[in-house]
Amino acid sequence: MWAKISDQVERLKVAVCNDRESNREWEFVTPDNLEIDTLPGREIRLSKYDTSFYFQPDIVKLLIKEKPDCIVITGYENATYIMALIVAKMFKIPLVQWWGSHSASGVLNSSWTKKIKTFILKRFDAYVTYGSAATEYLVEMGIEPSKIVTSRNAIDLGEVDEIKVRNIRSDVYNRPSGTERIVKFLYVGQIIDRKGIFDLLNAFYKIDDPNIRLKILGSGELLDKMTEAINKMGDTRVEYVGKTKSFSETQRFLLDSDVVIVPSKREVWGLVINEALSCGNFVITNNSVGAGRDLISEKTGIIYNYSDEFALQHSIYKAIDEIRSGKFNYSDSLKAIKDVTVERYASDIIRASRVATRNNE
């Protein structure tokens, strides 16, 4: 994404709080007009909330030295972001909030935390959101709609060989239909509580169908507990297949599957949905996942009510019928993701910076 933004500006400097966390690691590609610095300082990992708190005073010196034309901040909840906000206000630098949270994705939702959040967010000159749910949330907090640019989170579709996808999918959907057809499900993501992996296992085990399969791909702090539970159940329909380090590796599993399930308890967006659609998968997700609202239709998947304990199980049954009956057409998934590109996303971020500049005059 940063590389795509740098294509549209004279120079881009990115200051990251961390280039790796306990459950994530990023690899940066840096064009000539893009610089990426990892800020020194202190990190406090808040595992309960799946986030970190950072205190990095060097952000102040960096911003004063760089004198940027615009500052884009990707949050509000730690000291580093607040220091950047203060510098922007002191030197009257246009300020953009890059926002993804929505009403179903937050953890801290008490009245006093909402007041603090609203107070901080109203200091920004413009906002770019990834998802209509995120935009709605900002408006509910009193942000003027004219200051918001609504975009959609994206993957680099240039990494997807659509001809290969169509060839593989055409072969898959020429297979016999009916109850003998093996329907393959896939989970891709972190093995942590927030991702709802045990909700998925509990629902899947209740499906009385010998011709369905579930592969689980990922890693995380609950991996040992999950594999122990799988072994204890002794259900050969479920298999943990390890983790991947790149989308090209993940793509092999996506193309070998019919249905991707994203059962997260809270999810700001959920890029695995983009990846699944780009590979022609049917998708099951719930109303706590931001991407579902903008990317999933009746033709491409199912959005169930997370608060209904039986909804995931019923969704799996429905997906089995969609695949075996031939109602689902993989081409609908490819169409749904076709225009959700990183280039368009980058352009929306640039547009938000222009809105911020106008509002800061």
Q: What is the pLDDT of residues 298-345, one digit of tens each?
A: 999 999 999 999 999 999 999 999 999 999 999 999 999 999 999 999
Residue 30 has pLDDT above 70, yes or no: no
The whole-model pTM stands at: 0.93
Confidence bin at 67 (pLDDT 50/70/90): very high
What CATH number belongs to 157-337?
A: 3.40.50.2000
Residue 98: CB atoms within 10 A of its CB come to: 16
- Quick check: helix, strand or coil at residue 331? helix
Confidence bin at 24 (pLDDT 50/70/90): low
- CA–CA separation, 317 vs 103, rounded Å? 28
CA distances from 23 to 52, 285, 321 (A): 11, 22, 35
Task: Taking residues 144-159, report their average pLDDT.
Answer: 96
Q: Exposed, middle or buried, 182 (CB in 10 Å: 0-12/13-18/19+)?
A: middle
| pLDDT at residue 174, rounded to an integer | 61
- Please name the fold of domain 2-154+341-360: Rossmann fold (3.40.50)
The full DSSP string for 106-169 is -S--SHHHHHHHHHHHTT-SEEEEESHHHHHHHHHTT--GGGEEEE---B-GGG--HHHHHHHH
Mean pLDDT computed over every residue of the chain:
92
Give residue-wise pLDDT tens across range 104-132: 988 777 788 889 999 999 999 999 999 99
- CA–CA separation, 353 vs 265, rounded Å? 32
Task: Taking residues 212-232, report their average pLDDT.
Answer: 96
Q: Which residues contact 34 (CB under 8 A, 6 or more apart)?
A: 2, 3, 6, 12, 13, 14
Q: Do the domains 2-154+341-360 and 157-337 sit in the same CATH topology, yes or no? A: yes
Residue 25 has pLDDT above 70, yes or no: no
Domain limits, the chain: 2-154+341-360, 157-337
| pLDDT at residue 114, rounded to an integer | 87
Confidence bin at 279 (pLDDT 50/70/90): very high
Residue 32 has pLDDT above 90, yes or no: no
Give residue-wise pLDDT tens across range 173-217: 666 667 789 999 999 999 999 999 999 999 999 999 999 999 999
Residue 84 has pLDDT above 80, yes or no: yes
- CA–CA separation, 296 vs 54, rounded Å? 35
Rg, Å, the chain Cα set: 22
